Structure 1
Amino acid sequence: MMNESSTTPLRPESQPHPLPKIVGGFQTVLADPPWRFSNRTGKVAPEHRRLDRYSTMSLDAIKALPVSSVTARNAHLYLWVPNALLTDGLDVLHAWGFRYVSNIVWAKRRKDGGPDGRGVGFYFRNVTELLLFGVKGSMRTLAPGRSQVNMIETRKREHSRKPDEQYDLIQACSPGPYLEMFARYPRKGWTVWGDESPEETTPRGRVHKGYEGGALLPELIANSHIGEETAEAMADELSRRYFGGSSVRELAEETGYSIQRVRSLLKKADVPMRPRGRQRISA
């Protein structure tokens, strides 16, 4: 008979906030779900009664998150999963609308470069963690990905925190817009969903301005890769706002894009430009 403590949450599981949406959908998602282990009272468990590192979610609750509805037709997923829960990770990847393609191994190192033997496990002492890579639709990695080895070698940090090196790797190999799920900190160029700041922690994250309303336009940063599908969706959204009466300058101020970028996207949507200085089209 299964022990009741292995199936009953240590605290009520709150309803997660809606996922943020962005024009054209996110093309790359990074997720580090709060996996629930069968033994949740042991010292290494996230829900250890005294340490209480963070709340967890059931496998069904993680699978039910509507990730497919906020991602582009062609998209990449990077999904962290503990070695013991590999099959659960594959289930989540498929439930979110992706197919498994490969993985990246995080090798945890000591200061001298050797394997960090402080890892835990019932059968072996784990010194690695897996970042599963899945694809939705059809989209190869960007050119740098073709020479990127599938390993990150860094020292461990605080409990469950993943290496910051992952962001440079992901941005070099996959196009934006980028969404990080279950994030703990804000990051420039990314839309984050989760506990965004240590000072304002809430069980399922602080409400992002995009959670409650319409889709956001992607943030554009230097050297960021925006896919053709996303660029077309951005152009369509800007043209809708332009025909609704907004000027090019107002669109630039509203989105943070340069005037040249706004004009380029409107041109992509074949929008006939209004003469400068003339009265705007009323909505």
Structure 2
Amino acid sequence: MSAQTTTEVPQPSLAIPIQTATAPPLREVQAPPPLPATDGGFKTILADPPWRFTNRTGKVAPEHRRLDRYSTLTVDEIAEIPVATSAADDAHLYLWVPNALLPDGLRVMEAWGFRYVSHIVWAKRRKDGGPDGRGVGFYFRNVTELLLFGVRGSMRTLAPARSQVNMIETRKREHSRKPDEQYDLIERCSPGPFLELFARYPQEGWTAWGDEAGDETTPRGQVHRGYGGGDVAPVPHLEPHERLTSVTAQRIGVVLRERYESGASIRQLCAETDYSITRVRALLESVGTELRGRGRTAVRS
């Protein structure tokens, strides 16, 4: 019996050639201008880089074609900017970074020649002082943003920084615009000369660098209603039977307790807030305030 031979029939390849479609850029990409220089270097540098998100869909990505807020850079491109050549041997760096990109922010800070030592939190507030829940995020709805603080060489913050809390609580501005209050904070806590990288709204007394830093340039991105910044009211106006969340009640109660313990009566608080006596007493009690007897005022030592 003769042995049978089998012939292997080649199977068709299941591999499908992948075609990569490349969308044309929104605008011509130009080389960045050289960094500014000053004698002795800049003592304080503020930077708000145009971070590029991995997920570039929807309103999360600032360079999404439908929105066209501003051009973005990869982490490598940001890290390669020779910031150290413009910094003084002893200098401070304030670096804005989205919560999701914190590791990238630390990497960039190190690449620029600074070591991380602390950070400031921007708490975005509504007009009534509550958290502004219009932020985005895949895991939580972000109502904060981080301003990393780094040091090059050896330089302490100025004396006013000893009493400066590491939080800015303000209302939001247009997309990506940081609070104007940052400039006053930085100028009180760090010495000049001051340099702002990726500046979009140049400030008096600061050297600005970026493709939207010129006075003749109007930053891209639509300004939406309700994003104009402004003061946060100490306590909100409330309708007589309006229900409060526990967070808002806690915040208002703390404000009222400070006034009450400084000598204000419940009737005075009612006149200042237009709240009823019942509501003022309930808010005070909700934060553990020890109420005085009727008709008695606080005794200051």
What TM-score range do you get, normalising by the shorter chain? 0.5 to 0.7
1:181 and 2:197 correspond: yes
Pick the aligned partner of 2:83 from 43, 55, 67. 67
- For 1:46 and 1:140, the matched residues in 2 are separated by 35
The answer to whether the 8 Å contact 2:40/2:88 transfers is yes
Aligned to 1:224: none
1:170 and 2:186 correspond: yes
1:44 and 2:60 correspond: yes
Q: Max radius of gyration: which structure?
A: 2
1:110 aligned partner, one-letter code: R
Pick the aligned partner of 2:150 from 127, 134, 145. 134
Aligned to 1:30: 46
Aligned to 2:37: 21
- For 2:158 and 2:112, the matched residues in 1 are separated by 22
1:82 and 2:98 correspond: yes
- For 2:33 and 2:89, the matched residues in 1 are separated by 23
- Determine what percentage of the aligned residue pairs are the same residue: 75
- For 2:187 and 2:111, the matched residues in 1 are separated by 24
1:120 and 2:129 correspond: no
Per-residue CA shift, 1:70-95, capped at 9, x if unaligned? 11000000000000000000000000
Q: Offset at 1:11?
A: 5.7
> Any stretches of 5+ residues in structure 2 without a counterpart?
1-19, 221-301
Q: Offset at 1:14?
A: 2.8
- For 1:22 and 1:41, the matched residues in 2 are separated by 40
Q: Offset at 1:198?
A: 6.9
Q: Evaluate the alpha carbon distance shift between residue 63 and residue 132 of structure 1 in structure 2; reply closer, same or farther with a 3 A threshold.
A: same
Aligned to 2:217: 200
Per-residue CA shift, 1:45-97, capped at 9, x if unaligned? 11111210000011111001111111100000000000000000000000000
SS at match of 1:29: strand
- For 1:145 and 1:99, the matched residues in 2 are separated by 19
1:98 and 2:98 correspond: no
Aligned to 2:256: none
- For 2:33 and 2:82, the matched residues in 1 are separated by 11
The answer to whether the 8 Å contact 1:80/1:132 transfers is yes
Q: TM-score, normalised by structure 2?
A: 0.63
Q: TM-score, normalised by structure 1?
A: 0.67
- For 2:47 and 2:24, the matched residues in 1 are separated by 24
SS at match of 2:113: coil
The answer to whether the 8 Å contact 2:202/2:215 transfers is no
> Any stretches of 5+ residues in structure 1 without a counterpart?
204-283
Query: What's the RMSD between the two structures over aligned residues?
Result: 2.3
Q: Offset at 1:43?
A: 1.9
